[in-house]
Amino acid sequence: MCGNNMSVPLLAEAVTVSGTEKETAAVREHTNTIVHGWADTMTAIQLPHVKYICPHAPRIPVTLNMKMTMPSWFDLMGLSPDSPEDEAGIKRAAENIKAIIDHEVKNGIPANRVMLGGFSQGGALSLYTALTCQQQLAGVVALSCWLPLHKSFPQAASTSGNRDMPILQCHGEMDPMIPVQFGAMTAEKLKIIVNPQKITFRTYPGLMHSSCPQEMAAVKEFIEKQLPRI
């Protein structure tokens, strides 16, 4: 990767899956689980002209985990639509992701060739970051997740450059952690924030809080469509 990664804290320890030809696009994949496992998944659906950057979530005390320290982008007080939220932590995490976007832009990849994506809390952060980002992005992949600070939208997106941004949202129908109904509510909320025709919400029978080959195939198809070779 070009440039000084040390100036962007999340990039210093990020796992990067490089393209096999000239990189003309980038995908940020965020997860609050083991990032190397997610990087392995990205390798399986890699496109030769796309670079995948998988930053590590910092280790912080998490309320939902009895205040034990674990990798987490922001504190979690609960996993229901009415749970209190770590507003300062969410906004701070989003700014850190925007710093990565700025870094890529400075190093030759336009913002409209940058896609955000992630699983669970990482998907939630991807949605919030993209919807509050002034730069026009290529899209968002949001897996098994929700929209943080959902009550602040659509006002929170008033200066966003992503009103017409495509979003692929996927969810397991048997998810015990983040019920699929929560995902469906998120999809409906997104339709009043961005162009509803750009929202794709897919569910997978029998899938719990994880991924599956069919879902990954949908993700690859989405990336290929939104980030074609140029």
Question: Does residue 34 register a pLDDT over 70?
Answer: no
Residue 78 lies in a domain: yes
Residue 155 lies in a domain: yes
Alpha-carbon distance 22 to 37, whole Å?
A: 25
Strands 50-54, 15-17: pairing kind: antiparallel
Tens of pLDDT, residue by residue over 201-219, are: 999 999 999 989 999 999 9
Q: What is the CATH number of the domain that holds 150?
A: 3.40.50.1820
Residue 3 lies in a domain: no
Residue 113 lies in a domain: yes
Model pLDDT, residue 170: 97
Angle between helices 121-131 and 87-106 in degrees, nearest 10: 70
Check if the beta carbon of residue 218 is closer than 8 Å to that of residue 168: yes
Alpha-carbon distance 173 to 216, whole Å?
A: 16
Alpha-carbon distance 151 to 96, whole Å?
A: 22
Question: SS3 for 27?
Answer: strand
Residue 1 lies in a domain: no
Model pLDDT, residue 80: 85
Residues with a catalytic annotation lie at: 120, 175, 209
Check if the beta carbon of residue 11 is closer than 8 Å to that of residue 52: no
Q: Could you identify the residue written with the tokens 């870094």?
A: 103
Domain of residue 64 covers 9-226
Question: Does residue 70 register a pLDDT over 50?
Answer: yes
Structural domains of the chain, count? 1
Instruction: Please name which of 50, 103, 30, 54 lies closest in space to residue 229, comparing C-alpha atoms.
Output: 50
Tens of pLDDT, residue by residue over 148-204, are: 999 999 999 998 989 999 999 999 999 999 999 999 999 999 999 999 999 999 999
The chain-wide mean pLDDT, for the chain, equals: 85
Q: What is the DSSP string of 95-116?
A: HHHHHHHHHHHHTT--GGGEEE
Averaged pLDDT for residues 49-68: 89
The helix (H) or strand (E) run that includes residue 168 is: strand 167-172
Alpha-carbon distance 144 to 130, whole Å?
A: 17
Model-wide pTM > 0.85:
yes
Question: Does residue 24 register a pLDDT over 90?
Answer: no
Residue 162 lies in a domain: yes
Residue 126 lies in a domain: yes
Residue 2 lies in a domain: no
